[in-house]
Amino acid sequence: MDSTQIDNSSSVSSSPAIITNKKDLQAQFLRLQKLSRKGPITDWDTRKSQLETLETLLSKNKDKLTSAINADFGQRSEGETKFAELFSSFTSISHAKKHGESWMKARKAPVSAVYLPARNEIEPQPLGVVGIMVPWNYPLYLAIGPMIDAITAGNRIMVKMSEAAPKFAQAFAEAIEKHFSPEMVNVVVGDVDIAVAFSELPFDHLIYTGSTEVGKKSHGSSGSESNASYS
């Protein structure tokens, strides 16, 4: 497979890695969508490099991110954040690095006897641009976990952080901006209006974790309704 190279330096593009308004949200989505069609990430080396970048981000920013979560909660056990969010994130990255290349391989699929001796194969391909809507209660792992899946599958990512955890949202956005190119990952921060605009974008896949009520609204308004995951 041809390798698709992505520069992790945020200086390579003037597009915002941290998005705070609807105009930039729409513009950057269209940019990522165009990039995903023109240069899909089909090689394992690039995907593995992005996972390692995510791992480095967590290692270098774990104290800052833990403190931001504590500030948003008023008081949350540092041990809970480190075990439930950081430990889970690191182990998930390790698992993806170990198995991701094998997940990319084509696999045989059944063929009706009518069409024998034909053969069928399922060959996994990147979807394109994945949207992730993050809740407030475990904001680190519920951002990182879906990002790991999206990166391993070769997708570009937009993450909408919860407005109910603003200090963590800002800290996480700044960490992403420092470590990832906006050609790969963007973080969206802001209130309910920008969250609604985010959910209406025609993502190739939208991942939402949160309340049933808001999930139903997102499902009804989402431009990516047929390709959405809710939990």
pLDDT values of the chain reduced to their tens digit, one per residue, 231 residues: 344 445 444 333 445 789 999 999 999 999 999 999 999 999 999 999 999 999 999 999 999 999 999 999 998 899 999 999 999 999 999 999 999 999 999 999 999 999 999 999 999 999 999 999 999 999 999 999 999 999 999 999 999 999 999 999 999 999 999 999 999 999 999 999 999 999 999 999 999 986 666 555 555 555 555 466 555
Helix (H, G, I), strand (E, B) or coil at 207: strand
The contacts of residue 84 (CB under 8 Å, 6+ apart) are 138, 141
- What number of other Cβ atoms are within 10 A of residue 199's Cβ? 25
Whether the CB-CB separation of 21 and 66 falls below 8 Å is answered with: no
User: pLDDT at position 75, please?
Assistant: 86
The contacts of residue 190 (CB under 8 Å, 6+ apart) are 19, 20, 21, 163
Q: How far apart are CA 22 and CA 36, in angstroms?
A: 21
Phi-psi map region of 162: left, alpha, beta (phi>0 left; psi -120 to 50 alpha): beta
Range 52-62 burial, b when 16+ CB lie within 10 A, else e: ebbbebbeebb
Q: Which is nearest to 13 in space by CA: 152, 160, 186?
A: 186
Q: How far apart are CA 24 and CA 163, in angstroms?
A: 18
Whether the CB-CB separation of 194 and 222 falls below 8 Å is answered with: no
User: pLDDT at position 231, please?
Assistant: 52
User: pLDDT at position 216, please?
Assistant: 58
The contacts of residue 7 (CB under 8 Å, 6+ apart) are 181, 183
Q: How far apart are CA 46 and CA 155, in angstroms?
A: 11
User: pLDDT at position 223, please?
Assistant: 53
Q: Please give the single-letter amino acid code of residue 181.
A: S
Token pair in block for residue 218: 């997102």
